[in-house]
Amino acid sequence: MSDKHKQVAYYPGCALEGTGHAYNRSTKEVGKALGLDLVELKNWNCCGAMEVKNIDPKLQTYLSARNLSIADAMGFDTVMAPCNGCYHNLKKAEYDLAKDPPSREVTDRLSRKAGHATYEAGKVTTIHALDWIKESVGEQGLKARVKNSLKGLKVANYYGCMYTRPRHIFPEKDKGPGSESTSKPHFMDDLLAAAGAENVEYPLKTACCGGAHTLSDSDTSTKLVLNLLTTAEACGADVIATECPTCHTGLEMHQVRAEKVFGRKTSVKILYFTQLLGMALGLSARRVGVQENFSDSTGLLRARGLG
Partner 1 sequence: MPIHEKSLIRPENLVTHEHLEIDGVDVSGHWSTFITSRAITDYNEQMQEEIAALPGGEFIHRCWQCGSCTNACTINAVNPDFNPRYWIYLIRMGFESELLRDKDIIWQCVSCNKCTYACPRDVSPEGVMKATAHWLELKGYTEKKPSTAFDEVFSEQVFATGKIEEGRVLRQFFARTGQSLSQGWLVELIRSLASRLPVGLLVKLGLASVIRPRTRGWRGASLAIDEYVRECEAAARKALRLDVQGAE
Contact 121, 98 (CB under 8 A): yes
Q: Which of residues 16 and 124 has its CB atom nearest to partner 1 in the complex?
A: 16
Q: How far apart, in whole angstroms, are the C-alpha atoms of residue 262 and residue 282? A: 39
Phi and psi dihedrals of 253, rounded to 5? -60, -45
What is the C-alpha separation between 239 and 257, in angstroms, rounded? 19
Give dist(CA 276, CA 148) in Å, integer.
Answer: 10
Task: Report the site for partner 1 in 253-272 (rule: CB under 8 A).
Answer: 253, 256-257, 260-261
Q: Binding of partner 1 at residue 16 (CB under 8 A)? A: no
Q: Which CB, 116 or 143, lies closer to partner 1?
A: 116
Instruction: Report the distance separating Cα 84 and Cα 79, nearest Å.
Output: 13
15 binds partner 1 (CB under 8 A): yes
250 binds partner 1 (CB under 8 A): no
One character per residue 168-197, x = contact with partner 1 (rule: CB under 8 A): --------------x---------------
Helical (H) or strand (E) element with 78 = strand 78-81
Minimum CB distance to partner 1 smaller for 192 or for 229: 229
Please give the residues from 50 up to 89 whose contact with partner 1 meets the rule CB under 8 A. 50-59, 62-63, 66
Q: Closest separation between CB of residue 134 and partner 1, Å?
A: 22
Binder among 80, 133, 208, 240 for partner 1 (CB under 8 A): 208
# of chain residues touching partner 1 (CB under 8 A): 62
Residue closer to partner 1 (CB basis): 140 or 284:
284
Contact pick of 4, 7, 21, 72 for partner 1 (by CB under 8 A):
21
In angstroms, the Cα distances linking 51 to 122, 216, 256 are 25, 12, 25
Q: Judged by CB under 8 A, which of 115, 176, 177, 178 binds partner 1?
A: 115
Task: Report the residue from 4, 32, 45, 146 that binds partner 1 according to the rule CB under 8 A.
Answer: 45
Tell me which H or E stretch contains 247: helix 245-262
DSSP 8-class letter at 163:
T
Q: Using the rule CB under 8 A, is 161 a contact of partner 1?
A: yes
Between 80 and 162, CB nearer to partner 1: 162
Tell which residue, 105, 125, 99, has the closest CA to residue 58: 105
- 3 state SS for 23-53: HHHHHHHHHHHHCCEEEECCCCCCCCCCCHH
The smaller minimum CB distance to partner 1, of residues 195 and 268, is found at 268
Pick from 256, 243, 264: nearest CA to 294: 256
Nearer to partner 1, 37 or 51 (CB): 51
Query: Closest distance between partner 1 and the C-beta of residue 17, in Å?
Result: 7
Residue of the chain from 207, 231, 233, 264 that contacts partner 1 (CB under 8 A)? 207
HSE-CB at 204 with a 13 A cutoff on CA atoms is 22
